Amino acid sequence: MDLWSRFTRTSKGLEEQESSSPSQSEPTAKISSIFIYPIKSCRGISVSKAPLTPTGFKWDRNWLVVNSRGRAYTQRVEPKLALVEVELPTEAFDEGFDIKKDSFMVLKAPGMQPLNICLSKPHEVADGVSVWEWNGSAWDEGAEASQWFSDYLGKPSRLVRFNNDSQVRPVDPDYAKGHQIMFSDCFPFLLASQESLDAVNQHLEDPVPINRFRPNILVEGCEPFSEDLWTEIKISSFSFLGVKLCSRCKVPSINQATAISEPEPNQTLMKIRSGKVLRPKGKDQNKTYFGQNMVWNWRDCYAKKNGNVLNVGDPVYVMKKVTSAAEAAA
């Protein structure tokens, strides 16, 4: 039984309870945007609400493009993935969404005809799929999807879907023991603030949008980089743990509108957000940081009358924090 099935079974039959009032009377921030990335490294979707699951938002990083050996393609090596647009039915973000035969994910890319991917699970299994440290099997989306991505990228490719009926991909237990993900890099959720983006952009001649950093949750109303310090927060009535500062790779340097790599904002991040600056006594002095990786405390969650859903506008309460980025896990 997969993680979400265990959660829903545990929750079923429990008395519904309203959220208790956080100890902090006033919220520190509120959600300004929610982003879902159905296919890893492809373009995200901005939504007004999103159901929570233990492995991340519903539909987030459920799919992955792989090469002929089953190894994951990401924007690090295939920046053209940034131009692949993904559309899901609006009702797919309703918690009780019922997948029908005509429920499709639609893919679009420059020079390509739109491709429909049926949301019903495929029947074929692809073995030997790998992303970073993980190896396992996945659902294969078939020959048409394979040909579409092969033509677009100019090399043999396949589209696969995480098989949560049989596969488990644990989060690093040193940071979040007992939590799992699908095809996300490391953690189920990434949170960043508008104020942090604004602070970085003050150093840039050409400001960059938040899509360079690909967060799931964007908040506003807090101090710049204050999310570095948050170790436990409540969003609406849901408890999250901030478990690791997000170290950044080359992806923020890829213009998401053109798929062209640029010097910024990575050069500026090295000047103002490196380990040398933020964590002078720590390891990884040459890494840069932007955003906070999080997990949802789903084990402590009871069934909610309105479902396990986050909405744009939901308040953010800081329950616990450290005093400096040097004390945060990284």
Q: What is the mean pLDDT of each run of 10 residues along the chain (330 residues)?
A: 52 39 76 98 98 96 98 97 97 90 95 97 92 96 98 98 95 96 97 98 98 98 98 96 97 98 98 97 94 91 70 98 96
Which residues touch 289 (CB under 8 Å, ≥6 apart)?
228, 245, 246, 247, 248, 269, 273, 274, 275, 278, 325, 330
Triad 81, 113, 164: Cα angle to 5°: 55
pLDDT of residue 123: 84
Residue ranges per domain, the chain? Answer: 3-8+20-327
Cα–Cα dist 1/59, whole Å: 19
Question: What is the homologous superfamily of the domain 3-8+20-327 according to CATH?
Answer: PK beta-barrel domain-like (2.40.33.20)
pLDDT of residue 234: 97
* Contact assessment for residue 196 and residue 160, using Cβ atoms and an 8 Å cutoff: no
- Per the DSSP assignment, residues forming a β-bridge with 287 are none
pLDDT of residue 256: 98
User: How is 130-192 classified by DSSP, letter by letter?
Assistant: EETTEEEEEEE--HHHHHHHHHHHTS-EEEEEE-TTT---B--HHHHTT-B-SSSSS-SEEEE
Give the global pTM.
0.92
